[in-house]
Structure 1
Amino acid sequence: MKKLAATSAMAVALAISANSAKAADYESQVQQLVVSGVVEKWIGYSFISGIDNGDNDTFDPDNEDYFTSGQSGRLSLPLGDMLSLQMDADNEITENGLRNDNDDDDFAHAFGFGLHLSARDPSRGLFGVFGAFGQGKGDNNNGRHNFWAAGGEAQLYTDNVTFYLQGGYLDSEPGDDSTSPDGLHDAFFVRGVARWFMTPDSRLQGEVAYANGEQDDADGTNIDRPFDMDVIQWGVRYDTVIGGLPLIGDSAVFVGYRGTHFDTGCCGPDDTARGTEHTIMAGFSYHFGGQTLLDFDRVGATLDLPNFGRWVAAGEQLD
């Protein structure tokens, strides 16, 4: 009986030791940067509230609600044990961009490309720099504005929460025959994001961003230009993995909300243009590199960019 008890105890000890070794190997695997990527697709509905077009009727959208959709892709490549390079691409197009009439003051589309260079310790955090360029289109009359942006970013990791901070500079210029820089330009911005992983494959994300810059330059009139322009954006998003779906298997899906408030002054303290756009969205994503959403967050392509194209396009709408 004593021999049986001793043998059983030894077996349990060996099993615990083996499981501990496997867990250590797993930790070692997930704590290494890997080639990773993600592709996302979403559809949504936007509407504008709180419209104040000022004394000069500067913001008067033809369509105050519209369908919208977007897609994005990111790829991260390790350059060493802690250094990585990530490439981004994203696009958003609204129902307004598909209309054949001459509607003005309607957000049509935005697209952008980004590059991130960062040093990351998957158990602690990340710091790095990024650059981006793209375009936002605010109406059908000379509404295209090309933008570029650059800045720094950092992430802090706890057991199941990621804190993400970005900041930098944003500028734009007309992208068509227009010579008037109505888009948001000469601006600074800051953005904060928090991601809470309730389980390894479910995540709740909240974010807030602020940008301040100029809109419309001097034109020889007696109106003081350029105008000051503010953008405040906030959002929430929930991601989860639905397992065992027929034909497609495990699938990562998400729902989200994005609110963006635009505000610019024109010709005096009582003449401002402002409005708030609300967007509700639902979509799916596919990622590789990282066994769960939490793993992917720490070693994968989880850096992203503010909504630069939409911010730039709003300058045209508010003019």
Structure 2
Amino acid sequence: MKRVLAGIVLALSSTSVFAADTVQPIVEEPVAAGPRVSGHVEAYLGGLWIDTEGGNENGWVAGGAARLNYPIDARWNIQGDVFADGVWFDEGDINSYGAALHGYWRDPSSFALGAFATINGYGGDSGPEDIYSFTVGPEGQVYFDNLTLYAQAYYGQLRQSGFSEHLDIWGVRGVARYFAQPNLRFDAELGYRSVDISDGADTVSAALQGNYRFDGTPWTVFGRYQFDHLSGVSSESVNIHKLVLGIRATFGADTLLDEDRNGATMDTARSTYLFF
């Protein structure tokens, strides 16, 4: 693990820088009448397993997010997010924290289309110092009966405070959300991102997530598994496995499906290794 961290820090410095018994189509879920303010707060806890050519490393992970969606009118929405993630190893910790802003037009019966921007800071005992990143890009969702397809593309930069040089970041992300019931949702996610360091740093990500909201309450429990394959940093290939359990409290939406079509439905990619 120390070799991986050292390689990332060196690269940055050298440039100055994741049931119902019978699944039925959901056709009876109504579109809520009129826009309203909604959002949620969530937290998770779990583990991280890193496999490298030089050995393995395990750690604990924890994090959370808060999202608020504000409808400007019947179709235009603004959503704001704040989030934080941390990893704890024997030799120290790494953390990431940031915010996102989404602006989009949404018809709950068909699609949503807009754009987003993020900013992230990085730190911790084992993390790089004075490093931050930002991204901007388009995003959109298409709504079917009990399926939502979600896509994002983005460009950004990784920077170090006090230096004018930067590293370019770009990526794409796709998510499928399947509602077996209005309060039972399964997610599948694929993503790719690249950071323009000397040897290149490319990451392919895949994740699966299950979400269950207790009927008549604001509480949702979820479990997520995410796999990241990182190549190019320090000429090593790194596989990272992240498994977490979490809880979410929602307001302004009656079910998971209602939240998806009328509430704080947007999110952003969050790396398992936190640096970018």
* TM superposition score normalised by structure 2: 0.82
Which residue of the partner structure matches residue 254 of structure 1? 222
1:299 CA drift (Å): 0.5
- Structure 1 residue matching 2:275: 3-state secondary structure: helix
Whether 2:47 is the aligned partner of 1:70: answer no
Whether 2:80 is the aligned partner of 1:87: answer yes
Shift in alpha-carbon separation, 1:265–1:109, aligned structure 2, 3 A: closer
- Asked if 2 retains the 8 angstrom alpha-carbon contact of 1:32 and 1:299, the reply is no
Q: Which has the higher strand share?
A: 2
Cα deviation digits, residues 152-197 of structure 1 (max 9, x gap): 000000010000000010211125x8x697x9x3021000000000
Whether 2:255 is the aligned partner of 1:292: answer yes
1:241 CA drift (Å): 2.0
Amino acid at match of 1:52: E
Larger radius of gyration: 1
Shift in alpha-carbon separation, 1:43–1:197, aligned structure 2, 3 A: same
- Structure 2 residue matching 1:80: 3-state secondary structure: coil
**Percent of counterpart pairs with the same letter?**
28
**2-structure distance, mates of 1:155, 1:250:** 24
**1-structure distance, mates of 2:62, 2:95:** 10
**1-structure distance, mates of 2:251, 2:128:** 40
Cα deviation digits, residues 194-243 of structure 1 (max 9, x gap): 0000000000001011012212xxxxxxxxxx221101111111000235
1:129 to 97, 115, 127: 115
- Structure 2 residue matching 1:313: 3-state secondary structure: coil
Which residue of the partner structure matches residue 234 of structure 1? 206
Whether 2:257 is the aligned partner of 1:305: answer no
- Asked if 1 retains the 8 angstrom alpha-carbon contact of 2:185 and 2:210, the reply is yes
- Asked if 2 retains the 8 angstrom alpha-carbon contact of 1:36 and 1:301, the reply is yes
1:274 CA drift (Å): 1.9
Cα deviation digits, residues 74-131 of structure 1 (max 9, x gap): 00000111000000011011223xx6xxx4xx76111110000000000001000101
2:142 to 150, 156, 177: 156
Shift in alpha-carbon separation, 1:169–1:250, aligned structure 2, 3 A: closer
Which residue of the partner structure matches residue 192 of structure 1? 174
Shift in alpha-carbon separation, 1:227–1:119, aligned structure 2, 3 A: same
- Asked if 2 retains the 8 angstrom alpha-carbon contact of 1:74 and 1:87, the reply is yes
Cα deviation digits, residues 275-298 of structure 1 (max 9, x gap): 111111001101112211101100
Structure 1, gaps ≥5 residues long = 1-23, 54-59, 216-225, 267-271, 315-319
- Asked if 1 retains the 8 angstrom alpha-carbon contact of 2:183 and 2:215, the reply is no
1:38 to 37, 40, 51: 40
- Asked if 2 retains the 8 angstrom alpha-carbon contact of 1:204 and 1:238, the reply is yes
- Asked if 2 retains the 8 angstrom alpha-carbon contact of 1:31 and 1:299, the reply is no
**2-structure distance, mates of 1:148, 1:197:** 32
- Structure 2 residue matching 1:108: 3-state secondary structure: strand
Count of paired positions: 250
1:31 CA drift (Å): 5.1
**1-structure distance, mates of 2:127, 2:73:** 48
Shift in alpha-carbon separation, 1:141–1:298, aligned structure 2, 3 A: closer
**2-structure distance, mates of 1:155, 1:169:** 19
- Structure 2 residue matching 1:159: 3-state secondary structure: coil
RMSD (Å), alpha carbons: 2.7
- Structure 2 residue matching 1:198: 3-state secondary structure: strand
Cα deviation digits, residues 11-49 of structure 1 (max 9, x gap): xxxxxxxxxxxxx9x946x15332101100110111112
- Asked if 2 retains the 8 angstrom alpha-carbon contact of 1:238 and 1:255, the reply is yes
1:302 CA drift (Å): 1.4
- Structure 1 residue matching 2:196: 3-state secondary structure: strand
**2-structure distance, mates of 1:94, 1:258:** 14
1:73 CA drift (Å): 0.4
Shift in alpha-carbon separation, 1:31–1:188, aligned structure 2, 3 A: farther
Structure 2, gaps ≥5 residues long = 1-27
